[in-house]
Amino acid sequence: MSSIFDTIHHRLSQAIQCTDIPEDVFNGLRYPEKTLAVNLVIRRDDRSFVNFKAWRCQYDSSRGPTKGGIRFHPSVCMDEVMHLAFLMTIKCAIAGLPFGGAKGGVCVDVKKLSEHELERLARAYIKAFASMVGPDKDIPAPDMYTGGAVLAWMADEFDRIQGKKYRAALTGKPVAMNGSQGRIEATGLGGYYVLNTMIESGLCSGESLKIGFQGFGNVASFCARYLAEDGHRIVAVSDSSACLFCAEGLDVEALIRYKDEQRRFSDYEQEKVEVLEPAEVLTIDCDILAPAALADQIHKDNAGQIKASVILELANAPVTEEADSILQDNNVVVIPDVLANSGGVIVSYFEWVQNRTGDYWQKEYVFERLRKQIEKAAADVVCCKEEYQVESLRTAAYILALKEIAEVIMAKNVK
């Protein structure tokens, strides 16, 4: 059995053991409903051909059409896609969305593609999986290295294949193509709202917190901006080249401008700012650590060195199962990914609703609806933790999700 399913089964069983949720629910989530693997062939600008492995997984559709992003990254593999689709299933249930979970991916280094080659790849992907996609079947969205431009090409290609306009078939589109206001900020802003809810609930403290971010892409930069505006100190940020550290607090706006110029942190020079190795961001002295890069960054070999008292999982699965146990023993509160980074899928849901109704919302209204929905989800997880007397927020989140999924499954079937 793949290690990915070992992790899925373990986390499901931890939640099921604490409740009276039927074993049938667990069995139904042990493996995905459907996973399709294809070989994408595109022509390079020099007229040669190149192949890329690609996948789409629809994990569970109990609660509605499946929903999940498409990731372009050289580390993407089928196990990762299935794991991320499982997490989307849990995430949508916690957020109260009428969706199941899905995910897609292509094993590719987009930095080695021209813009024209990237467009051909985006169109080839949606062409290969068009039979799975649709506003009532499976709704793709952006993920790592697939932003608005990639989704615009995909949406255009899907419409061309179908011979009609399907505004709600994909989300995360540019606003000019019926995308939602606020989608770019959504995941980072959602993480900010979740953290504030946890502070208000008493699960973590504070005023003027010291915060470190592993990764400084779209999600981390927006979350850092909102937290800095509240008076918290962003003491460390990292990219793949370096970690920047300043005990007095970094200038977040200056760093955002620096990264917009596509510059590496290893070249950053400013008085009082130390340039460290990238991995050092995980073990710096801070109150809150926000991993916002790749999976499995906090593991059994470094979990014991974590100095933060709270981990805000902005990335998907940044903490391994073994590290979870170590952090729990060390009284480190982990705010799980299935809650902390759900702002993106919530606003994707808003886009789907707007596309279907033709009623488009202003950014302020989107943000207010996001705040209410994600704060409710965070409060529900806290209540679940207290009700079932479980030690971790992750287990509480899984209990909440399984209860939501079980309710639908039981309603559909004769008792």
Which 3 state secondary structure label does DSSP give 79?
A: helix
Query: Which of 34, 53, 67, 103 is labelled catalytic?
Result: 103
**Contact between residue 60 and residue 100 where contact means Cβ atoms under 8 Å apart:** yes
Which 3 state secondary structure label does DSSP give 315?
A: coil
Evaluated on CA atoms 307, 311, 316, 319, the torsion sign reads positive
- Give which of 334, 305, 329 is closest to 392, Cα–Cα: 334
Rounded-to-integer distance, Cα 395 and Cα 13, Å = 10
Rounded-to-integer distance, Cα 252 and Cα 222, Å = 9
Rounded-to-integer distance, Cα 37 and Cα 228, Å = 43
- Give which of 375, 348, 317 is closest to 186, Cα–Cα: 348
H-helix or E-strand spanning residue 252 = helix 252-260
Q: Which two tokens stand for residue 140?
A: 């793709």
Rounded-to-integer distance, Cα 113 and Cα 71, Å = 15
Is 103 catalytic? The answer is yes
**Contact between residue 218 and residue 234 where contact means Cβ atoms under 8 Å apart:** no
- Residues sharing a CB contact under 8 Å with residue 269, sequence separation 6 or more, in sequence order: none
Rounded-to-integer distance, Cα 119 and Cα 139, Å = 19
**Contact between residue 396 and residue 390 where contact means Cβ atoms under 8 Å apart:** yes
Pairing assessment for the beta strands 243-245 and 233-238 based on DSSP bridges: antiparallel
Catalytic residue numbers?
103
